[in-house]
Structure 1
Amino acid sequence: MATVYAQPAAANYYSPGPHNAPKQRGYRLCDQCGAVENPSISRFRLCGGCMITQYCSQECQKSHWASHKAICQHTSSQVKQPVAPSQDENLFKHLRKFTSTHSELLGWAGFQALQLKRMPSNIRHNALLIELNYRPSSDASRRFTVKGTHIVPRTYVTDNDQLVAADIHRREERCRQRGGIGTAVVLIQCGDISQVMPVEVDSPSRITWDSRDDWAEVLQHFVDSGRTDFKPISSTRGGIVYG
């Protein structure tokens, strides 16, 4: 029996999206020193090659390059691969930008889809696959729509690319050393191209996001309408928190 909610998982679901909505920041860790981003003080920088790894400073980015180089160049090389005549030659760049822009929404959807608050062990076995449709547009926020979502075995991702699997394993070890449960895997796919988004997940006891079964509907709403202002609902001892 489907759960009926009094309101959608996003506090601002029914409100019109702002014209110049800020990009989501999500939960970011420096890949070198493990520092947690505090956007009110300073914002982390994304690696310009893979658009996934982030750093608190240029010094940390330089220090991490030796270990990051292989996976970064592997990810970046996909941009240069030939595409079918019917595809936009910038499709992979657009997909990377989409993943970066919607990082909080995608990470939240992966957490809910794998039911990690109820069953943390799912993080080791399953992954969320998000299929997108591409529509050429001058508006960067409206180039993709959600075609479908699927729960797939995690090996669907890790068995096909050993460099990606090694990077996920590295993140997983680091996350568990901090007391987290590991790395959730979200695969964003559009036609023949894809982007893997690893999400390091804290201990469920410290995660305030409410467990939701309507995540797919919320995901589709924000992506299809080109909105980047997603604000999840969290229940805390101090009450309900939005965002």
Structure 2
Amino acid sequence: MPAYYSQPAAANYSTPPAHSQKQRGYRICDQCGQVETPVARFRLCGGCMVTQYCSQECQKVHWPHHKTICQHTTSQIASIKQQAVGGFSNDENIAKNLRKFCSAHTSLLCWVGFQALQLKRVPSNIRQHVLIIDLAPHSHPEGHRRFSVVSTRIVKRSYIGDPLVLADIQRRDDRCRHNGGIGALVVLVQCAGISQVMPIEVDPPSKIAWDTREDWASVLHHFVESGRTDFQPISTTARGVYYG
């Protein structure tokens, strides 16, 4: 029997799709932990095009820690480009658009992963499980809208076999716990054999007022299919309901 909710999962779930509204989502500087705002835009690492920084200074300070995983990611991207140049594959475009997809939907993917792994009830799941989101490509002028959600599933973290990627996740795990969080939530977005790993550092559930939801999969479909990047979860507190 489907669960009934008196409030929708998102503050703006029932509003028309805001196609003209371009947001970059919830980003954290990988060096200092600062959160991106509409005023202070972050920069992506020019090598891996995944890790983000609030300033060039933070990027320079973090380079010795980031160098290994950056060069590993860059080599994988270069390998995909070589296949594409040879005319054998369009994987280069898929990889590029997956990065755009994850960047545009960071807030949504963080909330979906939190709900799927039931971190409000069982915080220890963050160290054991990964949420996989399988996508299918389709044509659209905007890069982040070139995918549809096919399925979602939860697997053991050991599913990720790349030792360098696992080491980077462990580094984020350790840093997050050192700062009082519960660890790095891992969301793996994949399409046509190409994957994008998203480790998202999570505060203790006691500091997160998001309601526990079981309709996260339908919410994911709704926002991805409509192309909306303005997801704002509803939270219920003793002082009432608030958004974001």
Q: What TM-score do the two structures reach when normalised by structure 2?
A: 0.91
Give the corresponding residue for 1:32.
31
* One-letter identity of the residue aligned with 2:56: Q
- CA–CA distance in 2 between the matches of 1:9 and 1:24? 20
Residue pairs, 1:36-51, within 5 angstroms: 36-37=34-35, 39=37, 42-51=40-49
Give the corresponding residue for 2:194.
193
> Could you tell me whether the CA contact under 8 Å between 2:180 and 2:203 is conserved in 1?
yes
229-238 vs 139-148, greater mean Cα deviation: 229-238
Q: Is it true that 1:125 corresponds to 2:123 in the alignment?
A: no
| 3-state SS, counterpart of residue 132 of structure 2 | strand
Aligned length: 239
* CA displacement, residues 61-111 of structure 1 (integer Å, 9 cap, x when unaligned): 011112101111222333222258463541111111111111111111111
Give the corresponding residue for 1:6.
6
138-147 vs 165-174, greater mean Cα deviation: 138-147
| 3-state SS, counterpart of residue 116 of structure 1 | coil
15-24 vs 188-197, greater mean Cα deviation: 15-24
| 3-state SS, counterpart of residue 19 of structure 1 | coil
Q: What is the identity percentage for the equivalent residue pairs of Structure 1 and Structure 2?
A: 60
- CA–CA distance in 2 between the matches of 1:86 and 1:45? 29
Moved over 4 A (4+): none
- CA–CA distance in 2 between the matches of 1:94 and 1:56? 23
- CA–CA distance in 2 between the matches of 1:23 and 1:8? 21
* CA displacement, residues 27-59 of structure 1 (integer Å, 9 cap, x when unaligned): x3322223x225165233232333332222111
Question: CA distance change for structure 1 residues 95 and 178 in 2, over 3 Å: closer, same or farther?
Answer: same
Residue pairs, 1:1-243, within 5 angstroms: 1-26=1-26, 28-34=27-33, 36-37=34-35, 39=37, 42-80=40-78, 81=80, 82=83, 85=88, 87=90, 89-157=92-160, 160-243=161-244
5+ residue gaps in structure 1? none
**TM-superposed deviation, 1:8:** 2.5
- CA–CA distance in 2 between the matches of 1:171 and 1:89? 27
68-77 vs 121-130, greater mean Cα deviation: 68-77
**TM-superposed deviation, 1:143:** 0.3
- CA–CA distance in 2 between the matches of 1:235 and 1:61? 37
* One-letter identity of the residue aligned with 2:173: E
**TM-superposed deviation, 1:20:** 1.4
> Could you tell me whether the CA contact under 8 Å between 2:119 and 2:205 is conserved in 1?
yes
Question: CA distance change for structure 1 residues 40 and 187 in 2, over 3 Å: closer, same or farther?
Answer: closer
> Could you tell me whether the CA contact under 8 Å between 1:8 and 1:218 is conserved in 2?
no
> Could you tell me whether the CA contact under 8 Å between 1:37 and 1:43 is conserved in 2?
no
* One-letter identity of the residue aligned with 2:111: W
* One-letter identity of the residue aligned with 1:202: D
| 3-state SS, counterpart of residue 218 of structure 2 | helix
* One-letter identity of the residue aligned with 1:95: L
Q: What TM-score do the two structures reach when normalised by structure 1?
A: 0.91
